[in-house]
Structure 1
């Protein structure tokens, strides 16, 4: 997956929910639009559409590079995830993501049960490399997928506790943790939402499936300049990222919502009408 497209779809990686207390039944429809920039220069757009319907959820994402970068690479990507909020935790059921550029494309499909991988298919397969840290069965258990991780349940912890968690991510090829900690709050105003957001500091912790000798792996593991802003989804006890900032080896990449529209009480069926 090319960095610019994957930055959004797998930067769910960066905000991606872990075992929590029981969630109350709630319903809402989400429609968010994001601008993607690097070093302050706009080069892409992304969108998130989702429904939370009682104890079930569905998320769809799409990203596309534009301008000079898009013309050169043709980068684009899309993804979807479904799951349930059951047994006191977020329990993904399906995850799929596809990305393509002018030079390559890849599709990952994964089925999950009880927060463990039931099956995974990657086409074309990931290349074997001598420095790739081996995966074992333990890395495929007690995990969530990157897209489901965009839903951040807060429960009785309230919005102030939204950032205090570790996200155990498995994307079909690699297992890593995203450790979040609170860095305060601030007020924002954008189309569809005006109010407070929780600011989270994030740290990337590679566990398995990554290339241990790659400079980018070392850079990200030592990276202290990763943040995400979480906004509440009205009608639910869930928060969703409206901004992700990541220092990269070529500059700071930012994915920021230009609109964040929520329809409280809308179910999956009414959202389609």
Structure 2
């Protein structure tokens, strides 16, 4: 449950880059709903700012309803860094997840795409089957929050299928993995805050290091073909807004979907002009 909260918070924070054109300051607020096997189980509030170069993201996630009564689950995540064209350059990352039974905090500093410092409290237990994290695994990476910033690719139109085609190298302080995206289709979406085309990107998980080799949960995620993210072009910017993510888990499909979106205190994301 703690790992799920951290993942959900990280995904919810992916909305930052979509909030701001690359040349202007912007603020962004959103609420994401979280469902598991068709039942509402949580919410995540996102607050982010962007001054044209530097970003900051703050996320608060919590379980609700029966799930919240059982585990009192909650999580918080934050990240800072810069966006330059297609390149995301994180500077700091922190996440705290807690339940009624335990909690864990991860803090990480990055510079030039490489990890400079990591603190995990309490430390992860030692396991002989854990794949060692080498120095090379800490280079050319992004943190889990910054991993889901979606600057537009090159000169492609923002609704071009090629916007889905990317591999994101992620390091969360303990594990190194890739998120591999590919185009799966386009659909029209009409909901409060957005009306227009949505790119449906299939997602795959690829473990690199730090995981426990042969662990059932890792094998399940690597073989999982039921993962997707929906990306919407944002008017006036070279950015994409993640509106929905779907992940099949071992206990049912998890869905995270934007319920409320506010840009600069009142604006909402709209279809990019064609």
On the 8 A contact 1:190/1:260 being kept in 2, the answer is no
- Equivalent position of 1:119 in the other structure: 117
Q: Displacement, 1:48?
A: 1.8
Which residue is equivalent to 1:189? 190
The CA distance in 1 between the partners of 2:25 and 2:166, in whole Å, is 24
5 Å-filtered alignment, 1:169-208, equals 169-208=170-209
Report the alpha carbon displacement of residue 190 of structure 1 after superposing the two structures with TM.
Answer: 3.0
Judge conservation of contact 1:12–1:149 (CA < 8 Å) in 2: no
Cα distance in 1 for residues equivalent to 2:90 and 2:235: 22
Farther-moved stretch of structure 1 (44-53 vs 93-102):
44-53
- SS in structure 1 at match of 2:264: strand
**Equivalent residue for 2:242?**
241
| d(CA) in 2 for partners of 1:87, 1:68 | 43
CA RMSD of aligned residues (A): 2.4
TM-score by length of 2: 0.88
- Asked if structure 2 preserves the Cα contact closer than 8 Å seen for 1:205 and 1:221, the reply is yes
8 A Cα contact 1:233 1:262, kept in partner:
no
Q: CA deviation at 1:28?
A: 2.7
Residue in structure 1 matched with residue 270 of structure 2 by the alignment: none
3-state SS in 2 of match to 1:54 = coil
Q: How much does 1:88 deviate?
A: 5.6
Q: Secondary structure at the match of 1:152?
A: coil
Structure 1 position 45, deviation (Å): 0.7
Shift of 1:61: 1.2
2:252 maps to what in 1? 251
- Pairing 1:204-215 to 2, within 5 Å after superposition: 204-215=205-216
Q: Out of 74-83 and 151-160, give the one that drifted further.
A: 151-160
Contact 1:26 1:235 in 2 (8 A): no
Q: Which protein, 1 or 2, shows the higher relative CO under an 8 Å CA cutoff with sep ≥ 6?
A: 1
- Which residue of structure 1 aligns with residue 141 of structure 2? 143
Stretch moving more, 50-59 or 234-243:
234-243
- Structure 2 equivalent of residue 167 of structure 1: 168
What are the ranges of 5 or more consecutive residues in structure 2 without an aligned counterpart? 16-20, 268-274
Deviation, structure 1 residue 2 = 1.7
Alpha-carbon shift at residue 90 of structure 1 (Å): 1.0
Cα gap change, 1:153/1:67 in structure 2, threshold over 3 Å: closer, same or farther?
same
SS in 1 for 2:51: strand
CA contact (8 A) 2:76 2:96 kept: yes
Q: Is the 8 A contact 1:12 1:146 kept in 2?
A: no
Aligned residues: 260
CA shift, 1:178, in A, is 0.3
Determine the structure 2 residue equivalent to 1:271: none
